Amino acid sequence: MLLSLEPRGQQSRLMLWCSPLLAAVLTLGCGSLLFIALGHDPLQTLYTLLIAPISDLYGVSEWLIKTLPILLCALGLAVAYQARIWNIGAEGQLLLGALAGSAVAVNIIDVQSRWALVLILLTGTLAGAAWAALTAWLRTRFNANEILTSIMLNYIALNLLLFCVHGPLKDPAGFNFPESAMFGEASRLPLLLDDGRVHAGLYFALLALVAVWVLLQKSFVGFQIKVLGLDARAAGFAGFRQKPLVWLALLISGALAGLAGVCEVAGPIGQLVPQVSPGYGYAAITVAFLGRLNPIGILFASLLMALLYIGGESAQMSLNLPQAITQLFQGMMLFFLLACDVLILYRPRLNLRWIRRARTTAVQAGAL
Amino acid sequence: MSNPDSIARLQLRKISKRYPGCLANDAIDLSIQPGEIHALLGENGAGKSTLMKIIYGVTAADSGEVIWHGQRVNLRNPAQARSLGIGMVFQHFSLFETLTVAQNIALAMGAAAGTPAQLEPRIREVSRRYGMALEPQRLVHSLSIGERQRVEIIRCLMQDIQLLILDEPTSVLTPAEAEELFVTLRRLASEGCSILFISHKLGEVRALCHSATVLRGGRVSGHCTPAHCSDRELAQLMVGEAAGLIMDYPKVSADKAFLHINKLSWHNPDPFGCSLRDIDLEVCSGEIVGIAGVAGNGQDEWLALLSGETPLPRQQGETIRFGGQPVAHLRPDARRQLGLAFVPAERLGHGAVPQLSLADNALLSAFQQGLVSHGLVLRSKVEHLAEEIIRRFGVKTPDTKTPARSLSGGNLQKFILGREILQQPKLLVAAHPTWGVDVGAAATIHRALITLRDAGAAILVISEDLDELFQISDRLGALCGGRLSALRPTVETRLSDVGAWMAGQFDAPQSPAPAPV
Amino acid sequence: MDIDLLSNIFYAMVRCGTPLLLVALGELVCEKSGVLNLGQEGMMLFGAVIGFIVAFNSGHLWLGVLLAMAAGMLLSALFALVALVFNANQVATGLALTIFGVGLSSFVGAAWVGKPLAGFEPLAIPYLSDIPLIGRMLFAQDLLVYLSFALFALVAWVIVKSRAGLIIQAVGENPDAASAMGLPVLWVRTLAVLFGGAMAGLAGAYLSLAYTPMWAENMSAGRGWIALALVVFASWRVWRLLLGAYLFGLASILHLVAQGLGLAIPSSLLAMLPYAATILVLVLLSRDAVRTRLYAPVSLGQPWQAGH
């Protein structure tokens, strides 16, 4: 082999944080090659994708709006993943939060009180937590693999949402479109700026960021969650209660995803539509890993991911590139990250003997 | 080279192997004649395992020569070693539990195995010839440890074998089973097969081996004929200056029981596991009780019941009591509050989290010592505790931020034991406290246990190492098949008694007490 | 319910179960060797889109099938590189593969969405297909379904009878021992992963060239995930895999049954059934932890490296 890996003996703290950056750079590099192959100017395309969308205040506000749900979901996932509970169900938990919040909202459209909003947000958050609780229950009570159950619950949640917008929650005055009625003014999240659509959900996200940071970095419960994830036997040795920890991690995860969902419908969208989420829950998986399950890292990773989302939209409009480019980059980035992580524990080494041999062979081949 | 008799079957010249952070083998020379049983002696970490892996082609040496029948060979993998006629029996068996005996053997033999119908009679024949009863159709997971070792040996014998390497083969056997194994090995040697016998037990090496090479710290510290050497001389070669660390501790007797175990039975839901039956035991404050036994006879299950990792239903709470208080239904943290400390058998992955720092690992079991306030971890106190453990127990580490997995076995064990002792336990349960630990650390650990005993704690040690148990225990017993033998003061017990208990003969006639020394 | 309807249901059940069977067979071999590849959904979609594009442009369905398998293998090779050579976490790598595969297939297939294609047609075997009830189910299917029967037999034989099966099982149970014995653990696992990729690609091609001859984003609709649950359902035993695949096939055509019984249930509720059934099955099968442990390959999902 041309490249060989040699164990470092200790993990490299430098690479721990360089690896996500390297992954991002490699993704952009690979993306550029792809653009060249498709006949686009790579620099121009990258500009359209990453810089043009946020070059004005409106763009920045759209960027923040997209960041919110991804950040909330990824923070929740980080808690679960620290405990090695592979919750893939953020998408479903988000959808259910949106669905339940909307179910309340369309019934109190005429209520003028601000309590309407509180009720809606609370319902959505709890619904997300309840959806995750199903996964927790199936895992702790029946030992069912949480990856598969949470994925299945995603599909069920999506179908439930479709059923509701086509049936019980459909706006009677909506010309038979699969949409709910617009929420009442009191049920909408207030805007923070006159320009753009940045809403009060931003406060929740910042609050969640601090709370998750304290939980994971400072609290004893966070320590227990970490030990459970790294080494379940040691957690048993110390007497940490496994089942309550699994429940807690999944409930936090689900509640934050539910909050993300209800903030979407009560914020920028204002009603329940089938396309509440363009895959925020899945993007959050990449973000959680990219941010190293660390709240601060996740903040930056979700900003990057949100940028990819709005960049994908603008690339579709101005360059006629498929919007799936967002997901493609997501997958690439996660892949590159996992591949680059090998450098945390190993040092790459060029195998010079191999090069020499290859060169000799090449020379011989040339002589013939 | 003129005289064919002088050509060794295997010769090693200046074999060296370096791992990150340690020189495992340093210019090792070794020579084995046909039909010779050659011992490779050494303490844990002396480089025995690395050397035999090199001979068997598992790892490659950095430098040096392997000479086989006078020819220099370059061993690249085990398959090549086997094709030369080298076989190896690992300490942790390399068997596949979900496959049958015959399938296991077929896998190792490759195409030479033929069809199952051809293979099974051959297995039966070999097992008869060497006196090792074995049924080819049985699944390996249903076999006892001794039977599994037979599978490994027969697997080697199925091929034309010229050198058999055995890695600590008796560590998993009762003394009687070990004797049976020696009969087989002598028979093999008389047929011309060379045997490389790796061990750290002086008695059995003297009984079995023609010659010995002793390793210490990766180097050859001497060659000798075991039959002509005293224990003291061999020990000197093995441990060097550290020989003085092996010492006798005074035995004591105590009468105020702290740990009461009363008719403890437990059915294991795991079909491969061991169930416990009617265990009765009392451990007094101020004494060390040692429990011997071959692995897999219920030690792990019993330890989990003692530590609280397997709590029993509330109505059975009385079966285990700490100072009169029923605890069998309590969880580990609740038992710790009543005075329990626990040192599990596995350091990494049970007693400590490999990836976490020493400070975090101090918090792991000591969190009830005022390290947590309002749900938040008090970092400075945790650091302080970790530093104290490191200082008091001589743990060699750069700092408290070092992850547990980068410590050597001995240092990590000192850290774990220190963490438990600093919680001032009334009862310490320790499993294999010096397993895989170097001599110096073992001596430190033994001294710490004795000090804790003298300070008035009740101590229960479960170990496979009989030498250790005789050295530190005040009373002795053994586990076999999930049952516990009666206990007897160490001074009135002989090795053969414990051997009988380990084989399940609890009612063996009591041998007369040895004369006081 | 009359016999024609029943015969139709059986026929559709096998058609619906075929992609699940194909993916699950690949994943079974993969898991037997100790590798958990959660990327089935992504490989399947990439196979589906490549199969469709090739068949659409070349006019050769079989060329599409072949390249779909190659596409699946290509993605699984990426998985093998990251998870086996670089020793990354297999769960995370599998997820990455799915996200990547979903994105890549949508990206590549954007221009082909909704284009019509004449896919594989059913090929009835004379006389045999006239057997009541099961005739259509077994003998009036398209060629890819027949191929799935053959592949099932092949995988069953390899796992249960052959030396290769023994080696795969040994590597999945105890890679250290297998390596000490001289078995090429990394190669065995890599080949198993590649086989899994080829099967997922084939399953994708079945979707886009036979089941519904067209390309739509996310057309596999979670079948890759259901197949993963199927392997658990089958307790890693190949015959139960066959049974499970067709049972799930049945669950996903229940709207036919509902029509037959004259029930009016909204389609989006019926669409939940296979997913709900998957959860139910996982619950029933995983409840007994001891049993799961008895059958699951011991080293499943554990990273492994030579020389440890």
Residue A259 lies in a domain: yes
Residue A341 lies in a domain: no
User: For chains A and C, what is the number of CB pairs under 8 angstroms?
Assistant: 138
Query: Which of C163, C181, C290 is closest, CB to CB, to B271?
Result: C290
Can you name the CATH fold of B4-243?
Rossmann fold (3.40.50)
- Can you give the pLDDT at residue B179? 86
**What long-range pairs does A55-61 form, CB within 8 A, spacing at least 24?**
A57/A195, A57/A196, A58/A195, A58/A196, A59/A310, A60/A196, A61/A193, A61/A195, A61/A196, A61/A197, A61/A198
Q: Residue B424 is which amino acid?
A: Q
DSSP letters of A38-104? TT--HHHHHIIIIIGGGSSHHHHHHHHHHHHHHHHHHHHHHHHHHTT----THHHHHHHHHHHHHHH
Among A109-113, A178-182, C260-264, which stretch is predicted with the lowest mean pLDDT?
Answer: C260-264
Residue B90 touches partner C, C-beta closer than 8 Å: yes
Residues of B in contact with A237 (CB under 8 A): 307, 309, 332, 342, 344, 350-351, 364-365
- Can you give the pLDDT at residue A363? 44
Query: Which of A7, A8, A237 is closest, CB to CB, to B344?
Result: A237
d(C-alpha A76, C-alpha A293), whole Å: 10
- Can you give the pLDDT at residue C303? 83
Residues of C in contact with A330 (CB under 8 A): 99-100, 103
Do A9 and B20 lie within an 8 Å CB cutoff? yes
DSSP letters of A181-228? PPPPGGGSPPBSSSSS--BTHHHHHHHHHHHHHIIIIIBHHHHHHHHH
Do A238 and B333 lie within an 8 Å CB cutoff? yes
CB atoms within 10 A of CB B31: 16
Residue A74 lies in a domain: yes
- Location of structure tokens 């090549």: B80
Which of C38, C41, C82 has the most A C-beta neighbours within 10 Å, making it the best mutation to test the interface with A?
C82
Q: Beta strand B475-480 with B288-292: parallel, antiparallel or unpaired?
A: parallel
Residue B508 touches partner C, C-beta closer than 8 Å: no
d(C-alpha B149, C-alpha B464), whole Å: 17
Give B508: exposed, middle or buried? Use CB within 10 Å, 0-12, 13-18, 19+.
middle
Residue A246: pLDDT over 60: yes
d(C-alpha C229, C-alpha C250), whole Å: 16
CB atoms within 10 A of CB B217: 17
Residue B408: which H helix or E strand, with range?
Answer: none
Residues of A in contact with C107 (CB under 8 A): 322, 324-325, 327-328
Do C174 and B95 lie within an 8 Å CB cutoff? yes
- Can you give the pLDDT at residue B172? 75
Q: Which tokens is A211 given? A: 């709370």
Number of structural domains in chain C: 1
Positive/negative CA dihedral, C210, C212, C217, C221: negative
Nearest CA in chain C to B95: C177
pLDDT tens digits along A108-143: 888 888 899 999 999 999 999 999 999 999 999 998
Do C181 and B97 lie within an 8 Å CB cutoff? no
Nearest one of A201, A183, A203 to A94, comparing CA atoms: A201
Q: How wide is the angle at C-alpha B405 spanned by C-alphas B89 and B472, nearest 5°?
A: 70
Residues of C in contact with B97 (CB under 8 A): 173-174, 298
What is residue C69's three-state secondary structure? helix
B504: left (phi over 0), alpha (psi -120 to 50) or beta: left
Q: Residue C78 is which amino acid?
A: L
- Can you give the pLDDT at residue A276? 92
Per-residue confidence band for A242, with pLDDT thresholds at 50, 70 and 90: very high
Q: Domain holding C43: CATH number?
A: 1.10.3470
**Can you give the pLDDT of all 517 residues of chain B as single tens digits?**
334 456 889 999 999 988 766 788 888 999 999 999 999 988 777 788 889 889 988 888 888 999 999 889 888 888 888 889 999 888 777 888 888 899 998 888 877 777 778 888 889 888 888 888 888 888 888 887 788 888 988 888 888 889 999 988 887 777 788 888 899 999 999 999 999 998 877 778 888 999 999 888 888 888 888 888 877 777 777 776 655 555 678 888 888 999 999 999 999 887 767 899 999 999 999 999 999 988 788 899 999 999 999 999 999 999 999 998 999 999 999 999 999 999 998 888 899 999 899 999 999 999 999 999 999 999 999 999 999 999 999 888 888 998 998 888 888 999 999 999 999 999 999 999 988 777 778 888 999 999 999 999 999 999 988 888 999 999 999 998 899 999 999 999 888 888 888 888 887 555 444 444 3
β-sheet bridge partners, residue B427: B340, B458
Number of structural domains in chain A: 1
d(C-alpha B10, C-alpha B7), whole Å: 9
Per-residue confidence band for A366, with pLDDT thresholds at 50, 70 and 90: very low
B33: left (phi over 0), alpha (psi -120 to 50) or beta: beta
d(C-alpha B365, C-alpha B341), whole Å: 9
Record the pTM. 0.87
Mean pLDDT of all residues belonging to chain A: 88
ipTM score assigned to the predicted complex: 0.89
Subunits with 3+ Cβ pairs within 8 Å of B are: A, C
- Can you give the pLDDT at residue A362? 45
Do B59 and C307 lie within an 8 Å CB cutoff? yes
Query: Which of C181, C293, C307 is closest, CB to CB, to B107?
Result: C181
Do C173 and B97 lie within an 8 Å CB cutoff? yes
Helices C185-206 and C61-79: crossing angle in degrees, nearest 10, is 140
Q: Domain holding A99: CATH number?
A: 1.10.3470
Domain boundaries, chain B: 4-243, 257-347+425-502
DSSP letters of A321-364? --TTHHHHHHHHHHHHHHHHTHHHHEEEEE-HHHHHHHHHHHHH
d(C-alpha C54, C-alpha C280), whole Å: 38
Residue C292: pLDDT over 80: no
Residues of C in contact with A290 (CB under 8 A): none
B308: left (phi over 0), alpha (psi -120 to 50) or beta: left
pLDDT tens digits along A293-340: 999 999 999 999 999 999 988 888 888 888 888 889 989 999 999 988
Residue A39 lies in a domain: no
DSSP B477: E
Do A238 and B350 lie within an 8 Å CB cutoff? no
Residue A198 belongs to domain spanning: 64-307
Residue B6: which H helix or E strand, with range?
Answer: none
Task: Mention every residue, 6+ apart, whose C-beta is less than 8 A from residue C164.
Answer: C158
Do A322 and C225 lie within an 8 Å CB cutoff? no
Residue B460: which H helix or E strand, with range?
Answer: strand B458-462
Nearest one of B170, B146, B144, B166 to B157, comparing CA atoms: B166
Subunits with 3+ Cβ pairs within 8 Å of A are: B, C
Are B201 and B238 in contact, with CB atoms under 8 Å apart?
A: no
- Location of structure tokens 């609370």: A122
Positive/negative CA dihedral, B365, B370, B376, B382: negative
Nearest one of A161, A127, A149, A147 to A277, comparing CA atoms: A161
- Can you give the pLDDT at residue B36? 93
d(C-alpha A334, C-alpha A344), whole Å: 16
Give how far Cα A34 sits from Cα of A29, A321, B175, Å.
9, 11, 69
Residue C144 lies in a domain: no
* Domain B257-347+425-502: homologous superfamily in CATH: P-loop containing nucleotide triphosphate hydrolases (3.40.50.300)
d(C-alpha C35, C-alpha C94), whole Å: 10
Residue A26 touches partner C, C-beta closer than 8 Å: no
Residue B222: which H helix or E strand, with range?
Answer: strand B219-224
Q: Which tokens is A95 given? A: 């959808």
Residue A135 lies in a domain: yes
DSSP letters of C21-51? HHHHHHHHHHHHTT---TTHHHHHHHHHHHH
DSSP letters of B414-439? HHHHHHHHTT--SEEEEESTTTT--H
Task: Mention every residue, 6+ apart, whose C-beta is less than 8 A from residue B135.
Answer: B101
Residues of B in contact with C177 (CB under 8 A): 90, 93-96
Nearest one of A345, A339, A330 to A74, comparing CA atoms: A330
Q: Which tokens is B363 given? A: 């918090």
DSSP B492: G
Residue C302 lies in a domain: no
Q: B77 to chain C nearest CA, in Å?
A: 6
β-sheet bridge partners, residue B25: B17
Residue A152 touches partner C, C-beta closer than 8 Å: yes
Residue C86 belongs to domain spanning: 3-114+159-295
Q: What are phi and psi of A196, to 5 degrees?
A: 75, -175
User: For chains A and B, what is the number of CB pairs under 8 angstroms?
Assistant: 69
Query: Which of C177, C290, C293 is closest, CB to CB, to B95?
Result: C177
Are B200 and B238 in contact, with CB atoms under 8 Å apart?
A: yes
d(C-alpha C182, C-alpha C171), whole Å: 11
Per-residue confidence band for A14, with pLDDT thresholds at 50, 70 and 90: confident
d(C-alpha C226, C-alpha C240), whole Å: 15
What's the gap between Cα B174 and its chain centre?
13
Do A9 and B406 lie within an 8 Å CB cutoff? yes
Residues of B in contact with A223 (CB under 8 A): 360, 363, 377
Do B96 and C307 lie within an 8 Å CB cutoff? no
Do A223 and B355 lie within an 8 Å CB cutoff? no
Rounded to a whole number of angstroms, the distance between the first and last alpha carbons of chain B is 53
Nearest CA in chain A to B378: A218
- B257-347+425-502 and B4-243 share a CATH fold: yes
d(C-alpha B499, C-alpha B293), whole Å: 9
Nearest CA in chain A to C293: A143
Are A340 and A22 in contact, with CB atoms under 8 Å apart?
A: yes
pLDDT tens digits along A45-90: 888 888 888 888 888 999 999 999 999 999 999 999 999 999 999 9
Q: A234 to chain B nearest CA, in Å?
A: 4
Positive/negative CA dihedral, C281, C282, C288, C293: positive
